[in-house]
Structure 1
Amino acid sequence: MTPSSSAETAAGRRRSTSPLRAVLLRRLAPVVLLVVGIAALSQARDMGLGELTAPGPGLWPFIVAGLLTATAAVLLVVDPAEDYEPWTAGTARIVAGLVGLALFIVLFQTLGFVVPTLLMLTAWLRFFGGESWRMALVLGVAGAIALHLIFVVALGVPFPAGPVDQLLGG
């Protein structure tokens, strides 16, 4: 065995993961979905379920969260781990998108509709869509105003009003 081939073999061993670790990493997605589903069930219940004839605001979120939780539980038991894609660098983009959505929700509750929508559209167009900063900003502003006009002005959807929403008449 030459020195270069032994170094390559050692590097290959370091890069490879154990079979148990690979299975656990592939099972991470249904476990995360199960945890999210259980948390959503709790949040929906706290919103109030009401009754079928007079549903509360948490009834539909509770039903959806129940379906998510049940699906995740079935995936954990029935679906073989080998069917899942391995975690790659592309996975970080998905996680970043989910973190962006969570940030949007927090900002939406505190700043209203327009500012978080502008930030979200601009970030997604720039980082996920590969647009230039100029194009992402132009489309982000146009998109946020268009969505405000559609949902708030035309359809009358009651969103939390932030400082910019009040200027736009929302």
Structure 2
Amino acid sequence: MNSPTSTEPDAPAGGADEPISGPLTPDELAAQWEDDAPPPSGPVANLAASVVALIIGVGGIILSVGLGLGDPAHPKPGTWPLIVSLVITVLSLVQMLIGRQGGRDGEKFSHLSWFAAIGLVTLVGLVAAMPVAGFEIPSVLLSFVWMKFLGGESWRGATLYSVLIVAAFYAIFILGLGTSIPHLF
């Protein structure tokens, strides 16, 4: 019925101005994501990000050599940091060459870009606090800050997940593998 009190719609949903609800095809979903995406960063921002990564990689290589490298049979503390730093350096050089031409995949810096810097600073804080306070307390605090303030989790979820993650790492690295990470318990 078309009476004003009728609860049934007069016309089916999904008119010209209204999107049709239902599952989207992969092409429609990709188009929707592209429309919602922030603008691309461009070649200058890609070059700047590559330079920062290159500086971090070269700094890591220098620090790794300072720790001592050893050999494959008897690695020293600088072996794995050297490998990771070499990968960072090579990837940043590749990004310098390729990223300047494209720039489609990177995003412009926004207020959310600071989350990466906050994550790095809190990670450095973890490394500085571990020799003094052990592994457990700084790791729970780091995990909580990342989940609550950077990830937007609820207070209860951030607290629970932080404790569970640190307990899992403790079980794997301290109890299972017997590593020499400073710990309280």
Give the TM-score normalised by structure 1. 0.71
**Counterpart of 2:61 in structure 1: which amino acid?**
L
* 1:41 paired residue among 45, 50, 61: 61
- Alignment of 1:57 with 2:64, yes or no, is no
Q: CA deviation at 1:108?
A: 2.1
Name 2:25's counterpart in structure 1.
none
* 1:104 paired residue among 108, 126, 132: 126
Q: Secondary structure at the match of 2:122?
A: helix
Contact 1:26-1:81 within 8 A present in 2 as well: no
**Counterpart of 1:105 in structure 2: which amino acid?**
V
Residues matched between the structures, number = 143
**Counterpart of 1:67 in structure 2: which amino acid?**
V
Deviations 1:58-115 (A, max 9, x none): 1232122122112212322343265132112221122222222222222223321101
Instruction: Supply the distance in 2 between the matched residues of 1:42 and 1:153 (Cα, whole angstroms).
Output: 32
Instruction: Supply the distance in 1 between the matched residues of 2:76 and 2:153 (Cα, whole angstroms).
Output: 42
Q: CA deviation at 1:130?
A: 1.8
CA distance change for structure 1 residues 74 and 128 in 2, over 3 Å: closer, same or farther?
A: same
Q: Which has the larger radius of gyration?
A: 2
CA distance change for structure 1 residues 149 and 44 in 2, over 3 Å: closer, same or farther?
A: same
Name 1:80's counterpart in structure 2.
100
Name 1:131's counterpart in structure 2.
153
Once the two structures are superposed, the pairs formed by residues 155-170 of structure 1 within 5 Å of their partners are 155-161=177-183, 165=184, 168=185
Deviations 1:7-45 (A, max 9, x none): xxxxxxxxxxxxxxx754332210110000011001100
Q: CA deviation at 1:150?
A: 3.2
Instruction: Supply the distance in 2 between the matched residues of 1:152 and 1:51 (Cα, whole angstroms).
Output: 25
**Counterpart of 1:36 in structure 2: which amino acid?**
I
Instruction: Supply the distance in 2 between the matched residues of 1:74 and 1:157 (Cα, whole angstroms).
Output: 35
